[in-house]
Amino acid sequence: MPALSAPTKAAAPERLELDGRTLRLAKRDVKLDGRELGLLRESNDLLDDVSALRARMEEDGYLLLRGVLPESEVLGARRAVLEHLDAQNQVERSHALMDGFRAPSAKGAYLGGRREVTHSPGFLALAESQTLFDFYGRFFAEPAMTINYKWLRAVGAGDSTSPHYDVVYMGRGTTVRLFTSWIPLGDVGLEDGPLAVLKGSHNLPSYQRVRETYGRADVDRDNIESFFSHDPLEITARYGGQWQTTAFRAGDLLLFGMFTMHGAISNMSERFRLSTDLRFQPVSEPLDERWIGDTPLANYGWRKTPAVPLEVSRKEWNV
Ligand X SMILES: O=C(O)CCC(=O)C(=O)O
Positions touching ligand X (CB under 6 A) are: 153, 161, 166, 180, 182, 195, 262, 264, 275, 277
CB 173 within 8 A of CB 285: yes
| Least CB distance to ligand X at residue 58 (A) | 19
What order of strands is seen across the sheet that includes strand 195-199? Answer: 37-39, 242-245, 195-199, 262-264, 161-164
**What is the closest distance, in whole angstroms, from the C-beta atom of residue 161 to ligand X in the complex?**
4
> Which CB sits closer to ligand X, 129 or 267?
267
Give the chain's count of helices (H) and strands (E): 11, 14
Identify which of residues 42 and 277 has a Cβ nearer to ligand X in the complex.
277
Whose Cβ is closer to ligand X: residue 23's or residue 195's? Answer: 195
| Nearest residue (CB) to ligand X, 245 versus 275 | 275
Q: How far is the CB of 93 from ligand X (least distance, A)?
A: 25
**C-alpha distance across the termini of the chain, in Å:** 43
Name the minimum Å distance from CB 63 to ligand X.
14
Nearest Cα to Cα of residue 98 among 254, 264, 278, 274: 274
Least separation in angstroms between residue 49's CB and ligand X is 26
Q: How many CB atoms lie within 10 A of CB 185?
A: 27
Rounded to whole angstroms, the Cα distance separating 236 from 241 reads 6
Q: Which residue from 192, 164, 193 is spatially nearest to 180, judged by alpha carbons?
A: 164
Closer CB to ligand X, residue 180 or residue 299?
180
| Pairing label, strands 28-31, 195-199 | unpaired
Q: Residues of 229-256 as b/e, b for ≥16 C-beta within 10 angstroms?
A: bbbbbebbeebebbbbbbbbbbbbbbbb
Q: How far is the CB of 222 from ligand X (least distance, A)?
A: 18
| Minimum CB distance to ligand X smaller for 182 or for 243 | 182
